[in-house]
Copies of this chain bind each other. A is one copy, B any other.
Amino acid sequence: MTEIDKKIISNIRGLSIDMINKANSGHPGIALGAAPILYTLFAKVLKISRENPKWISRDRFILSAGHGSSLLYSLLFYLDYLKLDDLKNFRSLNSKTPGHPEIETLGVEMSTGPLGQGIASSVGFAIAEKYLSNYFNDDVINYKTYCLVGDGDLEEGVALEAMSIAGNLALNNLIVLYDSNEVTLDGSLYNSSIDNIELKVKSMNWNYIFVKDGENILDIENAIKEAKRSDKPVLIEIRTVIGRYSLLQGTHKVHGAPLTEEDIEQLKEKLDLRNQEFSVSKETIDEFQKMVDDRNDYVYENWLKKKDILDDKLKIELDDFINKKYDLNFEGLSGEDEAVRVANSKVLNLIAKENPFIIGGSADLRESTKASITDSGYFNKDNYKNRNIAYGIREHAMGAISNGLALSGLIPFASTFLSFSDYLKPSIRLSALMNQFVIYIFTHDSITVGEDGPTHQPVEQLVSLRSIPNLDVYRPNDINEVIGAYKAMFKRRKASCLVASRNKTKLKNETQIKLVEKGGYILKETKDVDFVIISCGEELDLAVDIFDDLSSKGYNLRLVSMPSLNIFKEQSEEYQKSVLTDKEKFVIEFSSSMSWTSITDEKHIFSVNSFGKSGKVKDILEYFNLTHDTIEKEILKMLNER
């Protein structure tokens, strides 16, 4: 370690502590303990272009242990991605330096904080690189994904699921740096885990390297060099001391609370730093940036040249990829009476044919959800051009990996039964929070799943999804509405859930491709409108039957199809009113009524607010009083009672 290495590391530690101290909130433990690791990575290893920070072929770094944000920000400051004022505003409202890293900050590849998500999404980054470098070539797409994890990340199930996938896919472009400090928030790691990490990662077909002294940056650098030559993903366990140089070092007390003034004073003395807040020597900045630039500038120049000699077709495709340009063309698509999951499969496959950057998987339910790219095989180490990812029965990793794919510019789809959307909720939330275009496809979407019973019958899942901020939820009825949903999705490019029925629905003349982007629209109405029925998904078929029956009996009513409640609520009040009217409203959706109480009162909602039942669909619907007859009778009763 040169004098300047030492100096920069000390400065980074000092800055991190100053940030936490000024904010009076933050996590000094990891910032002090892992500083040499991140310094080594950023100063000596990472392939980045400071002039072109969004360079498509840059190495990615994900801070899975998101509570180490102050450390990351210190390094981003050294890269000149952040200013000193940003560091001073650590954890302040609307700063570029929030409590946990948020993707809006330059140099932050992913929002992290909920443990396990970062490493699991890193697997998605690595899959994306393999796919893209095989689609183009490894002259233009060629990078590593690095990820810093703590003990907590490695305890999370989502991390373990994703690591198993990474090993199966032989993702040797993935290098995980494990800040192994033997301490978690509540105390010794060994209270909760005595796993043999070496054996564990090897069992999942990873390579493992141990660095016994986390202060030895040469060992760290050499370990990374070795990892870069691996034929498998690599976990480098680096033994560190949490809160290094604090009076509380090595204890859990230094994990998540600011240091005392006294502690800061002695720490800065030990580190040979001036005891002045946010003081940082210009020399260290210059030297740091020189190291980064000297290593990278010619690499970037070289890359430009290589990009230039791409053949024309690929050049255009690369630009389209970078600019996220996609073609949507639904010609030749014809629906019929079919399950919505089947209609979805047709539409997805048609779009995928034209758009090579759509890839995804179905968590071992492709036979049931029908969400797969039928003319492609499984993405695996023998064929990284294939577009179906065999996630196995690992829904949570599927969600997290999808985030990594989306953050790498791909359009991922991820599918399972709606009931099991619960398993990946934390990742769906992050898709929405990071505003990433992920297409979640959840099928078998109500109690009409039938015989598989309450564990497989969603009840509250639609509310749960609809309540996630910034998430679009579509529940189309037939292929027209499925097409409409995809049109809206590609226009809005937000995290999206397409919720599809297991059972057949009728292909309708009245469903409107174009109006799905309004969320809801008038499907059918009589001349005058005395009351309104609103429905969506599979239940719309029943609503149509009831509409037809009531209108033939002389009642005046309207039927509204509402494939996306959240998008409908974004429309102008005028539009909403024009669709819903101020007349009496009934809703038919065989799911929790909580989705709809903003539209009408609970008595007017034909819903399911208890767990489902195992049985034949017909028997279940009779049990819940949700047949054509019972609903119609109930509607008429309420109309009569007015």
In the complex, the chain B residue whose C-beta lies closest to that of A614 is B98
Q: Is the CB of A454 within 8 A of B433?
A: yes
Residues of B with C-beta under 8 A to A200 = 199-200, 203-204
A193 interface residue, CB < 8 Å from B? yes
CB distance from A87 to the nearest CB of B (A): 14
- Comparing A139-147, A149-157, A221-229, A542-550, the segment that makes contact with chain B is A149-157
Q: Is the CB of A623 within 8 A of B196?
A: no
CB distance from A516 to the nearest CB of B (A): 22
Q: Is the CB of A164 within 8 A of B168?
A: no
- Comparing A74-82, A111-119, A521-529, the segment that makes contact with chain B is A111-119
- In A420-477, the 8 Å CB interface with B consists of 420, 422-423, 425-426, 429-430, 432-433, 450-456, 459-460, 463-464, 466-470
CB distance from A442 to the nearest CB of B (A): 14
From known contacts A186-B365, A367-B185, A464-B463, infer whether A392 and B203 are also in contact, taking CB-CB under 8 Å: no
Q: Is the CB of A420 within 8 A of B25?
A: no
Residues of B with C-beta under 8 A to A614 = 91-93, 95, 98-100, 102
Residues of B with C-beta under 8 A to A194 = 167-168, 205
A571 interface residue, CB < 8 Å from B? no
Q: Is the CB of B155 within 8 A of A157?
A: no
Residues of B with C-beta under 8 A to A364 = 152, 155, 184-186, 192
Q: Is the CB of A102 within 8 A of B453?
A: yes
Copies of this chain, tallied across the complex: 2
- In A160-213, the 8 Å CB interface with B consists of 160-161, 164-165, 167-168, 184-186, 189, 191-200, 202-205
In the complex, the chain B residue whose C-beta lies closest to that of A161 is B157
From known contacts A92-B616, A426-B423, infer whether A164 and B195 are also in contact, taking CB-CB under 8 Å: yes
A494 interface residue, CB < 8 Å from B? no
CB distance from A395 to the nearest CB of B (A): 8
Q: Is the CB of A102 within 8 A of B186?
A: no
A484 interface residue, CB < 8 Å from B? no
A355 interface residue, CB < 8 Å from B? no
- Count chain A residues whose beta carbon lies closer than 8 angstroms to a beta carbon of B: 112
CB distance from A588 to the nearest CB of B (A): 17
CB distance from A427 to the nearest CB of B (A): 9
From known contacts A164-B193, A199-B203, A598-B602, infer whether A450 and B25 are also in contact, taking CB-CB under 8 Å: yes
Interface residue from B168, B394, B598 paired with A156 (Cβ < 8 Å): B394
In the complex, the chain B residue whose C-beta lies closest to that of A189 is B392
A511 interface residue, CB < 8 Å from B? no
A136 interface residue, CB < 8 Å from B? no
A615 interface residue, CB < 8 Å from B? yes
A620 interface residue, CB < 8 Å from B? yes
Q: Tell me the bound Cα distance from A159 to B157 in angstroms.
A: 8
- Comparing A37-45, A343-351, A502-510, A605-613, the segment that makes contact with chain B is A605-613
Residues of B with C-beta under 8 A to A380 = 191
Q: Is the CB of B152 within 8 A of A393?
A: yes
A329 interface residue, CB < 8 Å from B? no
Q: Mark A80-109, 1 if CB is under 8 A from B, else 0.
A: 000000000001111100111010000000
Q: Is the CB of B185 within 8 A of A100?
A: no
In the complex, the chain B residue whose C-beta lies closest to that of A23 is B451
Q: Is the CB of A93 within 8 A of B613?
A: yes
A396 interface residue, CB < 8 Å from B? yes
A563 interface residue, CB < 8 Å from B? no
A32 interface residue, CB < 8 Å from B? no
Residue in A95, A256, A615 with the greatest tally of chain B CB atoms within 10 Å: A615
Q: Is the CB of B453 within 8 A of A113?
A: yes
Q: Tell me the bound Cα distance from A364 to B189 in angstroms.
A: 10
From known contacts A92-B616, A157-B161, infer whether A455 and B433 are also in contact, taking CB-CB under 8 Å: yes
4 closest A-B pairs by beta carbon, nearest first, are A157-B157, A192-B392, A93-B615, A113-B455
A contacts, CB < 8 Å to B: 23, 25-26, 66, 91-95, 98-100, 102, 111-116, 151-153, 155-161, 164-165, 167-168, 184-186, 189, 191-200, 202-205, 252, 256, 362, 364-368, 378, 380, 390-394, 396-397, 419-420, 422-423, 425-426, 429-430, 432-433, 450-456, 459-460, 463-464, 466-470, 592-595, 597-598, 601-602, 609-611, 613-616, 619-620, 623
**Further pairs besides A153-B393, A156-B157, A191-B378: 15, Cβ < 8 Å:** A26-B451, A66-B455, A95-B615, A98-B454, A99-B452, A155-B164, A155-B394, A192-B390, A193-B392, A425-B425, A463-B463, A470-B611, A593-B598, A594-B594, A597-B597
